[in-house]
Amino acid sequence: MATTLAPVDSREVVRCDRCQLVQFKANNNICRRCKLSLDDDPEPEVVQPEPVAVPMMMHRQGVQVAMAIRTLRLRAGLSQRQLALRMSVPRTYVSKIENEKATPTLSSLERLAKALEVHITELITGGMAGREAELRELTQDPFVSELIPFLGTLNGMQWQSVLSQMRDLTTRPRRTA
């Protein structure tokens, strides 16, 4: 492509739009510096890829894995950066997995499971197996079993508070002096 400038005598002066060289227009219409045509280039045809239909079952599994990873990460009290450091990957990769922008490979799932200290099946099943085991463990505790009859009188906020405190006590025991 070239921009036509003022003609000098009988010759046309043009500027190459690519390299900005001001020159006399040659018979072959080629820029003397960049050796490309000074003629307008036709617009390249943009080819739109056809959308690929993702089966609904596969989409649900991806959502389930993403939610499981986020849930297990939060339950472990880890930030995305801390999880990424444990996995030796960039933090953005963890974010992309949790936001369903990337699908973890099998090796990534293994590293995720190891970093979150869970079995790989918990990542695939949505963390439900671990939650059920956690609830069984909580109800077997003598202190918790005494609290269970009173839990029905709590409102939602109180219920969540008690559950999170009990979870903290079972997963992160307090150190004694």
- Report the pLDDT value the prediction gives residue 58, as an integer from 0 to 100: 44
Give tens-digit pLDDT for 121-141: 877 776 565 567 777 777 787
Q: Among 17-21, 155-159, 168-172, which stretch is predicted with the lowest mean pLDDT?
A: 168-172
Pairwise pLDDT comparison (160 vs 8), residue with the higher score: 160
> Does residue 42 have a pLDDT over 50?
no
- Report the pLDDT value the prediction gives residue 147, as an integer from 0 to 100: 78
Nearest to 39 by CA among 28, 52, 51, 23: 28
Rounded-to-integer distance, Cα 125 and Cα 146, Å: 31
- Report the pLDDT value the prediction gives residue 100, as an integer from 0 to 100: 87
Tokens 């280039």 belong to which residue?
41
Hey, what are 120's tokens?
Answer: 């790989």
> Does residue 43 have a pLDDT over 50?
no
Average pLDDT, the chain: 76
Give tens-digit pLDDT for 51-94: 554 454 444 556 778 888 888 888 888 899 999 999 989 999 99
Q: Among 44-48, 76-80, 85-89, 162-166, which stretch is predicted with the lowest mean pLDDT?
A: 44-48
pTM for the model: 0.42
The CATH number of domain 56-129 is 1.10.260.40: yes
Q: Among 2-6, 72-76, 106-110, 114-118, which stretch is predicted with the lowest mean pLDDT?
A: 2-6
Tokens 């003629």 belong to which residue?
39
Hey, what are 141's tokens?
Answer: 């505790």
**What number is the average pLDDT over the span 88-114?**
89
Pairwise pLDDT comparison (161 vs 41), residue with the higher score: 161
- Report the pLDDT value the prediction gives residue 85, as an integer from 0 to 100: 93
Walk across the sheet containing 13-16 and list its strands.
2-4, 13-16, 22-24
Percentage with pLDDT > 90 across the chain: 10
- Report the pLDDT value the prediction gives residue 71, as an integer from 0 to 100: 85
State the greatest distance between any 2 C-alpha atoms of the chain, in Å, as a whole number.
104
**Are 24 and 13 contacting, i.e. CB atoms less than 8 angstroms apart?**
yes
**Are 99 and 65 contacting, i.e. CB atoms less than 8 angstroms apart?**
no
The 3-class secondary structure across the chain, one letter per residue, is: CEEECCCECCECEEEECCCCCEEECCCCCECCCCCCECCCCCCCCCCCCCCCCCCHHHHHHHHHHHHHHHHHHHHCCCCHHHHHHHHCCCHHHHHHHHCCCCCCCHHHHHHHHHHHCCCHHHHHCCCHHHHHHHHHHHHHCHHHHHHHHHHHHCCHHHHHHHHHHHHHHHHCCCCCC
